[in-house]
Chains A and B, each alone.
Chain A
């Protein structure tokens, strides 16, 4: 199994702005995905690292120079169009290989793999950045998705919502983001055995893959998933730029955001433990 963390200092602290690329938001933004860029930029600045969101419009090439790339969710037809653009020129794969972090959500998770099914019944090529394959499921997976991250990932339980028909198999040697506590997740029948710290094993969710000097994190927790899981946002920032301090508690906006997230996570815990 691939290492969870890259060597310490894979990315050093920096003085210039962190560049967060929101890739093809008109195609991959069906489920409020722009929220993840907003949240990452805000938290980065609250941690003393100025950040800018670089919007990559559909039809334009994906730039090589960004630090963190975001691929969101989309409907079937826009997903096919987006996949062609993401794969074109290989610049995203090259940026990841050179150390960038790619966070791929829902349709984005399928696009980073080698192939996925389209609404037309055809199999479409993905960008091939990660060795995963998506095939159509018998039914759509729609509803709350609660994920226990693998212990090595070092995060609290993740809350979110899923809405997809694809079933995603990870290639040999690839590790998931975690296992499913509630919902479907990758849904391809792959399971993780009981974990070393007594953690219950379960069906796989997402992917956490070191690629060259970079990292790809993918999940079916869709849309603005970082709103409910600020720890994951901070972890992605840590992977993109080393040595950041925690969010400053002196900043009233940061404090308000953390209070709001604590209240939201408590509500989600209540809501998802029912029925």
Chain B
């Protein structure tokens, strides 16, 4: 057992950690941000082997996927938190620097639950050697990246060979994820659902046509088919590894989060956490990095919903239907982090907004305007999201659907000017 930091780290590592703290604190003091990324970058510049060093001899879980990474990371961290301290990149900084910052936090032998970007997963995982990897889903995110989905699945599948003995907790309902997870030695399959299916129509193994049935899928040309799940999300119930059924009442809205909770529960129980307290901790997680947060916008109470790609939009439209219809603001950008090509809005069934009072803002508001016109949903365009919210009918809560950078913009504005 170590008694002081001097005995576990080289002077170089200690210098790197100190520098990272100073840089991160400066960033916060200058109100540039949380400092997670710049602090991590400073540390890695001084000690390139920092990730491997900080990750040695501790239990590490990595969460990756196109949608639900930040939320599921929080759920796993909450579930494991019932057993002891947990380190996590709670700010959503999910590339190498953010992971370094999370691992550098004390105590340095705490279990760590790390959100990692889909494309960075192999690089980060090969350094931190996770005991368990949670794979959520793979869908189109940025259309201007090409062949993105199949490429990511291939990278993940190859990772399995580099991590002998690691367990993968994978969504069996997503063919790309399942094919990738077959690359790992130990597998726990979870039925977490896949409402959006247009990105997995062709078999990742052989290029043949996939056929999908009620909760099932298989390839028409090769042996690939949906593996039998051992943990299942059935609407608002979870069935655990032992076959027991647990009613779930999450603080988070939406059926999509029941699926995320199933994956989190499977991960935590695989690492030895008892089901009941883990599920209780998962259920209490509310606001995750502003998702579903209520803010003040244009004099109205506005609920923030992140909808950054077609799969995410579909889940959010489903979630809107769970409550009586509210006015909707769509705040829409197509910056680099959103993908510069907004063509995908034509794949989103926006006719489901019919009957709501719809207002649109953002740099690509006009693209949304045309889309809505062709499905017969009247809308009004605004140059500013606050004007859009202010123009909404009635005086109740407004739901705001925002793309990635548009969401960040609304969230940052509220942090700087607390209501």
B201 contacts chain A at the CB level, 8 A cutoff: yes
Contact of A81 among B207, B343, B373 (CB under 8 A): B207
Q: Which residues of B contact A163 (CB under 8 A)?
A: 143-144, 146, 341
- Judging by beta carbons under 8 Å apart, are A32 and B343 in contact? yes
Q: Which residues of B contact A165 (CB under 8 A)?
A: 146
Q: Which residue of A lies closest to B377 (CB)?
A: A256
Q: Which residues of B contact A223 (CB under 8 A)?
A: 143, 341, 343, 346
Q: Which residues of B contact A88 (CB under 8 A)?
A: none
- Judging by beta carbons under 8 Å apart, are A38 and B144 in contact? no
- Judging by beta carbons under 8 Å apart, are B207 and A38 in contact? no
Give bound CA distance, A3 to B370, whole Å: 33
- Judging by beta carbons under 8 Å apart, are A27 and B202 in contact? yes
Give bound CA distance, A266 to B370, whole Å: 13
Binary interface profile of A, 58-102, with partner B (CB < 8 Å = 1, else 0)? 110000000000000001111011000000000000000000000
Binary interface profile of B, 178-205, with partner A (CB < 8 Å = 1, else 0)? 0000000000000000000010011000
- Judging by beta carbons under 8 Å apart, are B369 and A263 in contact? yes
- Judging by beta carbons under 8 Å apart, are B146 and A75 in contact? yes
A257 contacts chain B at the CB level, 8 A cutoff: yes
Give bound CA distance, A174 to B201, whole Å: 34
Given A77-B150, A142-B144, A263-B369, residue A34 in contact with residue B202 (CB < 8 A): no
- Judging by beta carbons under 8 Å apart, are A261 and B370 in contact? yes
B246 contacts chain A at the CB level, 8 A cutoff: no
A235 contacts chain B at the CB level, 8 A cutoff: no
Q: Which residues of A contact B371 (CB under 8 A)?
A: 35, 227
A131 contacts chain B at the CB level, 8 A cutoff: no
| Interface positions of B from 125 to 172, Cβ below 8 Å from A | 140, 143-144, 146-147, 149-150
- Judging by beta carbons under 8 Å apart, are B140 and A257 in contact? no
Contact size class for A? 35 or more
> A143: shortest Cβ distance to chain B, in Å?
7
Contact of A78 among B202, B344, B345, B346 (CB under 8 A): B202
| Interface positions of A from 105 to 141, Cβ below 8 Å from B | 119, 140
Give bound CA distance, A27 to B202, whole Å: 8
> B340: shortest Cβ distance to chain A, in Å?
7
A172 contacts chain B at the CB level, 8 A cutoff: no
> B31: shortest Cβ distance to chain A, in Å?
29
- Judging by beta carbons under 8 Å apart, are B209 and A119 in contact? no
Give bound CA distance, A268 to B340, whole Å: 13
- Judging by beta carbons under 8 Å apart, are A264 and B147 in contact? no
Q: Can you sample 18 A-B contacts with CB below 8 Å?
A: A30-B143, A34-B346, A38-B346, A39-B374, A58-B201, A58-B209, A75-B150, A75-B202, A78-B202, A142-B144, A142-B146, A161-B341, A165-B146, A227-B346, A256-B373, A260-B372, A264-B369, A268-B366
Binding site for A on B (CB under 8 A): 140, 143-144, 146-147, 149-150, 198, 201-202, 207-209, 220, 340-341, 343-347, 364, 366-367, 369-376, 378, 381
